[in-house]
Amino acid sequence: MSHYTRFSARASLGAVGVHMRRKRIWDIVERCVHIEQKVIWHKPTEKLLDAFINILAGDHGVVEVNKRVRPDEALQRAFGRQACADQSTISDTLNACGEENVQEMRQALQAIYRTHSQG
């Protein structure tokens, strides 16, 4: 088996991704949020994860996904992604979300908080 070494300027954020995967935190979002959208390459919840990674990386808009998250393969892998969706398809997914999806995300966040917080 060959190993590839990848560099990430956001290595500490990668540790967050590994922790989230181990705790299966994003699985809750995938179970709760159902966005009606045709899947070609990436599921809608995967595109939401790409947008979430973008926010954690400190970017100020979805347009920055292609400059920071998409080229950073190590960061993508840390969050369990094999590739990052293009910013335009992430925008399309966010635009496809309705009030019901917002409510589903709220419920997912509440479930994550109840399951993983000490509050």
Break the chain into its structural domains and give their ranges: 26-116
pLDDT of residue 7: 54
- The angle that helices 25-32 and 99-116 make with each other, rounded to 10 degrees, is 150
Q: Is 28 helix (H, G, I), strand (E, B) or coil?
A: helix
Query: Is the pLDDT at 2 greater than 60, yes or no?
Result: no
Q: What is the pLDDT of residues 63-93, one digit of tens each?
A: 889 988 898 888 899 999 999 999 999 999 9
pLDDT reading at 11 higher than 90: no
Question: Under DSSP, is residue 48 helix (H, G, I), strand (E, B) or coil?
Answer: helix
Contact 98, 33 (CB under 8 A): no
Is the pLDDT at 3 greater than 70? The verdict is no
Question: For 27-57, what is each residue's pLDDT tens digit?
Answer: 999 999 999 988 889 999 999 999 999 999 8
Q: Is the pLDDT of residue 95 over 50?
A: yes
d(CA 84, CA 90): 9
pLDDT the model gives residue 15: 87
All residues at 6 or more sequence positions from 105 whose CB lies less than 8 Å from its CB, including other chains? 29, 32, 33
